[in-house]
Chain A
Amino acid sequence: MSDVLLQIRDLRTSFRIEGKFHAAVDGVSLDIYKNEVFALVGESGSGKSAMALSLTRLHNPLFTRIEGEVLFDGKDLLTLNEAQINKVRGAHISMIFQDPLSALNPLFKVGAQIEESLVYHTNLDKAGRKARALELLEGVGMVNPALTYNQLPHELSGGMRQRAMIAIALACKPDLVIADEPTTALDVTIQAQILDLLRDLQKEMQTSIILITHDLGVVAEMADRVAVMYAGQIVELASSEDLFKNPQHPYTRSLLASIPSMDSHSNKLHVIQGLVPPLQLMPREGCRFSHRTPWVPTDIHEEIPTYHEVGPGHYVLCTCYKEFSFDGEETA
């Protein structure tokens, strides 16, 4: 667990809006270890997807500026040229997207799409590639791999398509899979199947997974470690156990309180006041969550928020976690 696979240092991803660059990911530093499932959680606009796409530079370079360092296998991914990064994409780092229907090419058979990355990244011959593709299709739980091999994406159900996506992502035995909301478009029963499958495959292949999701239930089911993102920053980083049993940052606590749970029907759900600010209006100074908790005194925030270690491997941004309480609640 302790071997570092990917080192992210002060990553800053900015998008150009009306001629100016605004940072969607604002100074994130992080280590991803070998053989772990790492979850990135946050609401829309928190920068979680922007960060994941930055790792393999999938943003349009005309509108995007990526600064910082992403060290993988001794190389900084952000300084590689296009040919070099193409060697990494698919072979060492691959992706699973939310919507398999638009991520798969509708004109090519599933088998051919799995084999595509094998053509670029391995020396297998035609028969070898087909054998590998069939093996993968069986591995992701297709009932009839030989049939699916020759099917087009539109002939498969949503769950089957997502399985095909996973087969493509795992084709070259990557070191890291980035899964961006892999089950959001699926029914709960199918979601459970896909999550169980991902977890089994992860254990078997010893791959690391960066799981991006807004569903805290999915995080609890899957992740070893979690980072909660808000307004482009990581506000809390902890193991799954610590995050759910002992959440510290006001944002994390608010999110957990707003889940409609099994016993909440007689009570009101917690509502986080206000909205995630749009990119151009993002506050860049002080504690970024402070304007959504207007009832807490301003002096409990740090002027320049720093990370505090509250337990082994458990970090929280800003001092406000110490004295935060929900509106109407007594300060503990």
Chain B
Amino acid sequence: MALLEVKGLKVYFPIRGGILGRTLGYVKAVDDVSFTIEPGQTVGLVGESGSGKSTTGKAILGLERIAGGTIHFEGENITKYIGKNRSSYRKSVQMIFQDVYSSLNPRKRVLDILAEPLRNFENLTKGEERKRIDELLRIVGLPPQVALKYPFEFSGGQRQRIGVARAIALKPKLIVADEPVSALDLSVQAQVLNYLKDVQEELKLAYLFVSHDLGVVKHMCETLAIMHNARFVEFGSREDIYSNPQHIYTRRLIAAIPDTDPDKRHVNAENRALLTKEYEQEHSKYYGERGQVYDLKPVAGSDTHFVATP
């Protein structure tokens, strides 16, 4: 059974105007998106800013109002209860944020930051609580002494590890990670990614990994969804997407990754120019009249790979 099943998810933001603030129309931030996440799996959600990838993640957490579609968690339809406090779903799905400077309360000690989810959901004695916190810190590689420190005393990478520790405090089954390493330096990024993988193995976690960095996504995710204009343009395994990209948008995205081989510089630039030309000339092959993305169709000869074509 799938851990999470999202069907036809829609999130619309109202456009208000006029002196009465009436709703004049809607911005479709997420428009009819469906996918499933199996237990222990990592699904990557990739796209440019404004593509709706973060909104999708937030909707799953109940942080955005859902305009349509259903979300099933472990076979149960939880669409209606998603925003309700203290439901078991809230315990099972957690989030890691991008900005490590604003996602930890500066007035709280690490101890209180990590204890907050525990105090909300579990009745622990002081001693039990402290034991759990030491265990959480061990998992993300921090010594137990740091529990009495404040967030400003840590570097960016350490803060993100505290963010990870908080997310796993309630032993969730799914973590939505929204650009968890985009704000970090390369060497620190490597460290956080390693911890994310270790934690996943230890706790049998599933991740929804939202990112714009195709290198990081390739390192982390077995399954990928490429998002553009509020819809999926392509969905498939890592090999499908990187070795056999079908949609023009995916191909442009992959061609845009800077290559660390200086010899390939000219080839890459030419390749990008060709793709841009193709994108302009054959736009109608991939997008509808109003620029909308078509529904996903299976790619011939594969049962994991889907692409949006007419």
Q: Beyond A260-B216, A269-B193, is A196–B269 a contact (Cβ under 8 Å)?
A: yes
Tell me whether B219 and A260 are in contact (CB under 8 A). yes
A271 to B185, alpha carbons, bound, how many Å? 11
Q: How large is the interface on A (under 10, 10 to 19, 20 to 34, 35 or more residues)?
A: 35 or more
B262 contacts the other chain (CB 8 A) = yes
Task: Tell me if B219 and A221 are in contact (CB < 8 A).
Answer: no
B139-170 to A contact mask, C-beta < 8 Å, 1/0: 00000000000000001010000000000000
* Interface set, chain A 259-289, CB cutoff 8 A to B: 259-262, 264-265, 268-272, 275
How many angstroms between the C-alpha atoms of A1 and B172 in the bound complex? 58
Q: Which residue in A188, A199, A264 is a CB contact (below 8 Å) of B257?
A: A188
Q: At the interface, yes or no: A44 with Cβ under 8 Å from chain B?
A: yes
A275 vs B155: C-alpha distance when bound (angstroms)? 8
Chain B interface, DSSP helix/strand/loop, else mixed = helix
With contacts A269-B190, A269-B219 taken as known, whether A187 is within 8 angstroms of B260 at the C-beta atoms is no
In whole angstroms, how far apart are the Cα atoms of A257 and B121 in the complex?
41
Q: How far is the CA of A244 from the CA of B220 in the complex (A)?
A: 24
Instruction: Judge if B189 is at the interface, Cβ distance under 8 Å.
Output: yes
B258 contacts which of A158, A217, A260, A270 (Cβ < 8 Å)?
A217
Chain B residues near A220 (CB, 8 Å)? 258-262, 265
State whether A217 and B194 are in contact (beta carbons under 8 Å apart), knowing that A258-B187, A265-B220 are contacts in the complex.
Answer: no
- Would A262 and B242 count as touching, CB distance under 8 A? yes
B contact residues, range: 35 or more
Q: Is the CB of A188 within 8 A of B187?
A: no
Could you say which of B187, B197, B261, B268 contacts A271, with CB atoms under 8 Å apart? Answer: B187
B48 & A264 in contact (Cβ 8 Å cutoff): no
Chain A residues lying within 8 Å of B260, measured Cβ to Cβ, are 216-217, 220, 244, 256, 259, 261
Contact digits for A139-168, partner B, Cβ 8 Å, 1 yes 0 no: 000000000000000000010000000000
Give 23 A-B contacts (CB < 8 Å), ordered by A residue.
A43-B188, A187-B49, A188-B48, A188-B256, A189-B48, A189-B256, A190-B48, A192-B258, A217-B258, A218-B258, A244-B260, A255-B186, A258-B187, A258-B189, A260-B190, A260-B193, A261-B215, A262-B242, A265-B220, A269-B190, A269-B219, A271-B190, A271-B194
Spell out A's residues near B (CB within 8 Å): 43-44, 158, 187-192, 195-196, 199, 214-218, 220-221, 223, 240-241, 244, 254-256, 258-262, 264-265, 268-272, 275
